[in-house]
Amino acid sequence: MDVAAERSAFLYGPDDRKRHSEVAAHPGFPDERYRSAWRRDYARLVHCPAFRRLQGKTQVFPGPESDFFRNRLTHSLEVAQIAKSIAIRLNNTSDYFSQNNIDLDLVETIALGHDLGHPPFGHNGERALDDCMKIYGGFEGNAQTLRILSRLEKKEKEDLSRYGVSSEGMDSRLGLNLTYRTLAGVLKYDEEIPVRRLSKDPLKKGYYRTERRIVQAIKHSVLGASKSNVKFRTIECGIMDIADDIAYSTYDLEDTLKAGFATPLHIAFADGEILERVARKAKKALGASFDHHHVRETLFKIFGNLIQQVDLPDDSRPMAERVWDCWAESELFSRNGYIRTQYTSDLVTEFVLGTSVDVNQKFPALSNAKLSRDQLEKVEVLKHFTFENTIMSSRLKVSEYRSYDIVKTIFLDLSDDDGHHLLPEDFRSLYDCMPNTQEKMRVICDFIAGMTDRYALEFYGRLCSETPESIFKPF
């Protein structure tokens, strides 16, 4: 058996633990052989600035609206917990993985880092940056996550240049210098994003051309040199993706109920137009035959216990009284934190118990984690319903419009003639070192993408407001 074939026969091989640059031992400190490579990756991620900044980025509701709704950081913590639970389940229910355990530190690290690439103001900020970068390679959150971890974070670099890019434009930045298997877990879409595309062309999810070499190294480390044509998605990435959908479909729903954007009865009897939009999006995962009738049936499965109380055969009360009790129970469901928390907790448990895995015997690293059909229907419907009912609601559209304009205005000002002089010193130095316009625009994009919602508002205020912040307040 050749080296590549032997490596593919195991879940983890020595090359999975390799980094672009090996970590040097600190003189005067003992050798930490008891700490795994992936535990070291976990530590590097939770201590990095990009992870901390997630606390200031929108999940569903804008941060300034309330301190009691989720943000990107709390969402990532919940995704990590769910992902770890799924991995523990698969390690105990799969014949293969009970003998070849999925590494829990690895899964947790990947889940914690999955949203690092999201810009301020969530998908609206992402859309604004992509519109600005359309002729320079676009902007996509998953691609930005890989870029942050493998290049932008200021943990390690290969040369002695001040900020990791030489005056000749040679980029030696290594980001957090994580193991290849950890980076493989955040490579959610194995497709290079075109540098240029027409204005009408939608953005393809994938990775930027600037990270092409690191993607090649990732694939080589996991599968070997001759396996680059295999559809690439690791088992850990699949677990993270399921956990993300579970968190989105349950905890974002909980925030929607808490904020008064919906009640269980409102959801179960939602307008047909919303159900049509949900069905169109859910078809991608559930098949073309899944229509708005199936959406309604799925919602009744989730909230049916409330509705069934109206028509219990042994209930002799007048119908009006039973309907009233049903309505009151639905309102209480939304207002009462104990009820909401228990219900979403039960949903998460149900979904985790609905996970299983198809083992790829030839390449175990590419085994496919999945949800049962019944649980997948519930997750997909709830996920898309929250988006259509809440994020697309008129109450959030004003905020969305403003956030798009803020991000785009900042980009246009920074990319204007001499606008780069408005950048902080480190980004200005990187801009000056870059050899062409495309890479200079990417520096500006990186700077804006790293902003929190609050910092973006503040920076916008400095550029456009008649009462800007003090010059002594640092960038």
Instruction: Going residue by residue through the chain, which has 475 residues, state the pLDDT in tens, using 9 for 90 and above.
Output: 454 555 556 899 999 999 998 877 677 777 777 789 999 999 999 999 999 999 998 887 776 666 678 889 999 999 999 999 999 999 999 999 999 999 999 999 999 999 999 999 888 899 999 999 999 999 999 999 999 999 999 999 988 888 888 888 888 899 999 999 999 999 999 999 999 887 778 888 999 999 999 999 999 999 886 565 778 999 999 999 999 999 999 988 888 888 888 888 888 888 889 999 999 999 999 998 999 999 999 998 888 776 666 556 666 777 677 777 778 888 888 888 898 889 899 999 999 999 999 999 989 999 999 999 999 999 999 999 988 888 777 777 777 778 899 999 999 999 998 999 999 999 999 999 999 999 999 999 999 999 999 999 999 998 887 665 655 555 5
What value does the CA radius of gyration of the chain take, rounded to a whole number of Å?
Answer: 24
459/121 Cα distance (integer angstroms): 14
Give the pTM.
Answer: 0.91
- Dihedral of the alpha carbons of 285, 286, 290, 292, in degrees to the nearest 10: -50
Q: Give dist(CA 400, CA 458) in Å, integer.
A: 17
Where is 411: in which H helix or E strand?
A: helix 394-415
Domain ranges, ordered by start, for the chain = 3-235, 241-394
What are all long-range contacts of 275-282, with beta carbons under 8 Å and residues at least 24 apart? 277/384, 277/388, 278/381, 278/384, 278/385, 278/388, 281/380, 281/384, 281/387, 281/388, 282/377, 282/380, 282/381, 282/384
Instruction: Report how far residue 443's alpha carbon sits from residue 101's, in angstroms, rounded to the nearest whole number.
Output: 40
Contacts 24+ apart (CB under 8 A), 327-332: 327/265, 330/263, 330/264, 330/265, 330/266, 330/306, 331/263
C-beta of residue 63 within 8 angstroms of C-beta of residue 454: yes
User: At which residue do the structure tokens 């997948």 appear?
Assistant: 376
Pick from 345, 314, 24: nearest CA to 177: 24
Return the CATH architecture of domain 3-235. Answer: Orthogonal Bundle (1.10)
CA distances from 385 to 118, 258, 277, 336 (A): 21, 16, 9, 21
Establish how many alpha carbons lie within 13 A of residue 335's alpha carbon, considering only the half-sphere containing its beta carbon: 6
How far is 474 from 458, CA to CA, in rounded Å? 11
Residue at token pair 């984690």 = 369
Query: Under 8 Å CB-to-CB from 320, ≥6 apart: which residues?
Result: none
- DSSP calls for 50-64: HHHGGGGSBSSS-GG
Q: What is the pLDDT of residues 58-113, one digit of tens each?
A: 887 776 666 678 889 999 999 999 999 999 999 999 999 999 999 999 999 999 99
Reading the block at residue 138, the tokens are 């676009």
Q: What is the pLDDT of residues 198-251, one digit of tens each?
A: 777 888 899 999 999 999 999 999 988 656 577 899 999 999 999 999 999 998
